[in-house]
Structure 1
Amino acid sequence: MKRKIGVTNWIFGDVDLIESAKIIASMGFDGMEVYVDIEKVSSTEVKKVLNDHNLDVFSLTPANFDLANNYLNCRQIAIDYYKKLIDYGAELGHPVITCHEYIQNQSIKDYLGAIYWLIDSCKKLAIYAQKANINLGFEPLNRYLCRFILTSVDVVELINQVDAHNLTIILDTFHMNLEENDLNKAIIMCKDKLSIYQIADSNRKGIGLGHTDFTTQFKTLDQINYTGPIILECAHPRQTPGSPLAGDFDELKFYLQTSKNWLMQQETTLV
């Protein structure tokens, strides 16, 4: 099955959007998962950069806000940010808006949040996004980053609780390797709700540089008739969205090229 392939630009650290787009386009990818400071970079600027490099925008990565916080004022700040991100996405052609839990230091034992409030916030955002003809995509992370939504079982339960047709699922093989008993069963569980599939090997390097069985995964994606994009999220170990580049730039491009080469060999998986 043919699918478009993109790269998330946060892996390039503080390299600006123009340079990131230039690299991604020059390597022959179809589009991007875009991470920008929406208070500093306008949607018009993003649209021009992507159009200039003939790249699609598949999804938007959010900044780190707490949709599950027990305190209404903290939660409202998060909801207001996501509403701005939804409006921003509507101006870019309606990409999927990624949602996730607040990424936190797990040494903090008394986290002031609850899954009840996460569900409540997602309901509010789904209603708002529906008016803008936008799909949200909730991404499970892992136990070192968050508390509630770690697995396919967790995210499907969240989807069922929110009960909104425009709330979809984003799966990331790096996090799945840490939390899922069986990655292929996780894909099947999410099936029709899966909107974005993010990939990196088990060590977050390029495909083939870790121990993830991607061949079987792509057969499973074919089995569920997944037609959405494949997003590469290969990254240096200490890289986080918005931080300076945390490693060698050429090594990062090697991860991307290695992954693209593998994908190009999979005749049934790729555009």
Structure 2
Amino acid sequence: MKSSVTICLMPELKGAPFIFWNGLEDGMQKAEELGYDAVELFPASAEAFDDKLVGSLLKKHKLELSTVGSGGGWALRKLSLTSPDAENRRKAEEFIKGIIQKAAGLGASTILGSMQGKWGDGVSRETALEWLGESLVRLGDYAQTQGKPLFYEPLNRYETNLLNKLVQTVAFLETCGAKNVRILADLFHMNIEETTIHGAIRDAGKWIGHVHFADSNRRPAGLGHMDYMPIVSALNEIGYTGYLSAEVFPYPDSLEAAQRTINSFRKYVLKKGD
């Protein structure tokens, strides 16, 4: 498994659970200095994502790009795959496709989280899930043409009322036929929704494509009550070799949050240090 740390490129979202906020150069330099393998980026849009600059900085700082988030589509434009408005849903798909193309060009997958939306406002759960499934098939197929899987993130009940648990999401993906979509297992969301995190990881198995490495309070690993030993054991059992990416609050500050996270990664994953 490899380590990754988040860099948010949307100053409007200050206060959200991302570690670095002072731009690409600053975030990547610190990630390199701390010994991270990769960074996870959250741009405002595909148009705002300077892939040439990102590529050159990745090379300069000897980093990989683990993933790129699409949440700017919801946070800044209120685009959703389950919106009651058909034009909004169409724009949401196009927005995500743009991110997929830019991310894949740098060897990374795209995350679909908040843009999944929720049911309500005149839309039944059945209809919302039907729209979501159709979009995931199309977006997964498009991601396949770009050579990467799409990562779908089940969120906790306070953020969506669609899919909250890993096995529930596996069943949905199998039913809707989204063959090139894998699950992002976020430990913070799982701590709220799953009976046991390690059990859910084992049950989801090969469907897990990415992991958000957070503690129970969404602070850096080691600052909550999360028990990481069984979680890492479960990931090893299912043969997971992807990234553990720190999507957490920059507590007490960005640098300390990044340092605590990489320390925990070395302790629990690499089995080095205390």
Letter in 1 for 2:225: H
Q: 1:262 to 1:129 in 2, by over 3 A?
A: closer
Give the equivalent residue in structure 2 for 1:129: 143
User: What's the counterpart of residue 257 of structure 2?
Assistant: 255
Who is 1:88 aligned against?
Answer: 102
Matched, 1:24 2:31: yes
Specify every segment of 5 or more residues in structure 2 that has no aligned partner in the other structure, as ranges.
9-17
State, as a whole percentage, how many aligned pairs show the same letter: 27
| CA distance, structure 2, for counterparts of residue 132 and residue 103 of structure 1 | 21
| Mapping 1:1-271, distance limit 5 Å | 3-10=1-8, 11-12=18-19, 14-37=21-44, 38-62=46-70, 63=72, 64=74, 65-93=79-107, 95-102=108-115, 110=121, 112=123, 114-236=128-250, 251-266=253-268
Whole-angstrom CA distance in 1 between matches of 2:69 and 2:172: 19
Higher relative contact order (CA 8 A, sep 6+): 1
Cα distance between partner residues in 2 of 1:71 and 1:61? 23
Letter in 1 for 2:141: I
Alpha-carbon offset, residue 70 of structure 1: 3.0
The 4+ residue runs of structure 1 with deviation greater than 4 A are 267-270
Deviation at 1:103? 7.2
Q: Deviations over 1:119-157 (max 9, x none)?
A: 111111112112121210101111111120111122112
| TM-score, reference length from structure 2 | 0.85
SS of aligned partner of 2:43: coil
Deviation at 1:22, TM superposition (A): 1.1
Aligned-partner Cα distance in 2 for 1:133–1:98 = 15
CA distance in 1, matches of 2:266, 2:104: 32
Distance 1:262 1:86, change over 3 A: closer
202 and 69 in structure 1: CA distance in 2 versus 1, 3 angstrom threshold: same
Shift, 1:215, TM fit: 1.0
Question: Which ranges of structure 1 fall in alignment gaps of 5 or more residues?
Answer: 237-246
Per the TM alignment, residue 165 of structure 1 is displaced from its structure 2 partner at its CA by: 3.1
Classify the secondary structure of the residue corresponding to 1:147: coil
CA–CA separation in structure 2 for the residues paired with 1:206 and 1:70: 37
Deviation, structure 1 residue 14: 4.1
Q: Deviations over 1:24-73 (max 9, x none)?
A: 11111010111113222321111111111111001111122311223221
Report if aligned partners of 1:234, 1:252 keep a CA contact under 8 Å in 2. Answer: no
Aligned equivalents of 1:228 and 1:12: distance in 2? 20
What's the offset of the Cα at 1:5? 0.5
CA–CA separation in structure 1 for the residues paired with 2:271 and 2:129: 36
Amino acid at match of 1:19: D
**Residues 144 and 180, structure 2, Cα contact 8 Å, conserved in 1:** yes
- Code of the residue aligned with 1:129 in structure 2: it is A
Contact 1:174 1:202 in 2 (8 A): yes
Could you tell me whether the CA contact under 8 Å between 2:81 and 2:93 is conserved in 1? yes
Q: Structure 1 pair 109/266, CA: closer, same or farther in 2 (3 Å)? A: closer
1:269/1:70 CA distance change after superposition, 3 Å: farther
Return the letter of the residue paired with 2:254. L
The one-letter code matched in structure 2 to 1:42 is D
Q: Within 2, Cα distance between the matches of 1:25 and 1:231? A: 14
Take 1:42 and 1:35, find their aligned partners in 2: how far apart are those partners?
12
- When structure 1 is superposed on structure 2, of 159-168 and 202-211 the one drifting more is 159-168
* SS of aligned partner of 1:143: coil
How far did 1:212 drift? Answer: 0.7
